[in-house]
Amino acid sequence: MKKAISRCLTLVFLSVIFTHCTPKDQVDIDNLPQYQAFGVYNNATALFSYRQYEDQWSVLTYETHYSFRIQNYEQKQVLTISSIPRSVQKGATFTINVAVYGIDNITPGVKTVTAVRNKDNRLLLLDKENEISYYVFY
């Protein structure tokens, strides 16, 4: 009987700890910065962003998804974010593919993101695990 009570108390204690404790580094989706330029950000720090009159950005659309690209021919830098659904609701979670050329501080690959904002043809996607935001034309 004592073992059963001890196990029960241990389980209750662990459930209280794990359900009420949150990581202190967790990203607050509602308080992300208001980014001015398309690009990739780590909180308020731009990892790579569009610069007017220096870079070009473009969108390539397909039936169900599209790709967003920022490029600078002179500096030989290219960022492509593909597999973005053409219809996205706030809070939707999906995967995108990030490809880079000539940009060292962005990790390429498949990323799981959540649509945080969708306003004025601008879409903000958040990779919560890596605390990276992708701000693209929509």
87-113 residue pLDDT tens: 999 999 999 999 999 999 999 999 999
118-133 residue pLDDT tens: 889 999 999 999 999 9
The mean per-residue pLDDT over the stretch 19-27 comes to 42
pLDDT at 33: 84
pLDDT at 17: 38
Q: Is the pLDDT of residue 85 over 50?
A: yes
The mean per-residue pLDDT over the stretch 36-59 comes to 95
What confidence category does residue 25 fall into, taking pLDDT thresholds of 50, 70 and 90?
very low
The whole-angstrom separation of Cα 46 and Cα 130 is: 14
Q: Report the DSSP beta bridge partners of residue 2.
A: none
The whole-angstrom separation of Cα 32 and Cα 40 is: 13
Mapped onto helix, strand or coil, the DSSP state of residue 8 is: helix
Higher pLDDT: 64 or 32? It is 64
Mapped onto helix, strand or coil, the DSSP state of residue 29 is: helix
What confidence category does residue 22 fall into, taking pLDDT thresholds of 50, 70 and 90?
very low
pLDDT at 71: 97
**Which of 106, 54, 102 minimizes the C-alpha distance to 81?**
106
The mean per-residue pLDDT over the stretch 49-57 comes to 96
